[in-house]
Amino acid sequence: MNKIIEIIIYSLFAGITIFLGGLSARVFEKYCKKIIESYILHWSVAFGGGILIAAVALVLTPKSIEIFTIQQFTSIFLAGAFTFFFLDKFIEKKGGVLAQTMAMLMDFIPEAVALGAVFAHNHRLGILLAFFIGFQNLPESFNAYFDLRTKDHPPKDILLIFFVLSFLGVFSALTGRYLLTDQTGVTAGIMLFSGGGILYLIFQDIAPLSKMKNHWEPALGAILGFLVGMIGTKLLG
């Protein structure tokens, strides 16, 4: 099969799970609302947070630490964190609640870019990365759906947005394939910048939402999420 067609197929698979995660959230909201409010949502937020931390620690930052100087990776990492610090403040001032959605996209887009870039050199790694990204997107988009619903956005509008966002993976992967295949430093820089922003969002907005009064079990979801990230990284290696 032509490599470009393969990249499109696998990046589309990785991206369509954004829509599927949102769709599953809509089903739960409609038929299991009380369960979501009392338990499942807290588990899902913690699980998604664990996956995001794993993505930062095991996927988004290691390459940059390897190739950049201390001054370089410190500057890029902090630039990502402070960019989303100010963006988060701006959105909150406007009355928005978009932490989950921002974190999902900051995770998805650079990894999709990396997917396109690595396909040229390592076909197996590209396929595994596509499955890893797709699996990550499910809990993240599930949480992002409720992130948007807190501002009373209609379900149909949210699902339409998620459907459109699903195709960002194809665009990002093709960008990585055509522009960044031999630009390891640029790709690593994009991923490191995103890692700084994601880490800020996790501890400022996402992790606090996972806490549930008189229940300690949802926090275990973060452990499971990080474990999934470790397993995925081991498979990628």
Q: SS3 for 52-84, per residue?
A: HHHHHHHHHCHHHHHHCCHHHHHHHHHHHHHHH
Residue at token pair 């959105």 = 91
Asked if 22 contacts 156 with a C-beta cutoff of 8 angstroms, the reply is no
Give the model confidence (pLDDT) of 19-70 as tens digits. 999 999 898 888 776 666 666 777 777 887 888 888 888 878 888 888 999 9
| Whole-structure pTM value | 0.76
Taking residues 169-191, report their average pLDDT.
87
Q: Are 53 and 202 in contact (CB under 8 A)?
A: yes
For the segment 148-162, the average pLDDT, to the nearest whole number, is 85
Which residues lie below 8 Å from residue 85, measured CB to CB, with a gap of 6+?
200, 204
Per-residue pLDDT, averaged over 127-139, amounts to: 82
210 band by pLDDT with thresholds 50, 70 and 90: low
How far from chain centre, in Å, is Cα 200? 13
Task: Specify the higher pLDDT residue, 129 or 98.
Answer: 129
Kindly indicate the confidence band of residue 139, based on its pLDDT and cuts at 50, 70 and 90: confident
209 pLDDT exceeds 80? no
Look up residue 165 and give its two tokens. Answer: 């966002």
Q: Given a cut of 90, is residue 162 above it in pLDDT?
A: yes
User: What are the structural domain ranges in the chain?
Assistant: 3-236
Burial of residue 70 (CB within 10 Å: 0-12, 13-18, 19+) is: exposed
Mean pLDDT confidence for 66-93: 87
pLDDT value, residue 34: 64
User: Which positions ≥6 away from 109 have C-beta within 8 Å?
Assistant: 168, 169, 172, 194
Residue among 81, 71, 76, 133 at smallest CA distance from 102: 81
Q: Evaluate whether 113 touches 176 at the Cβ level (below 8 Å).
A: yes
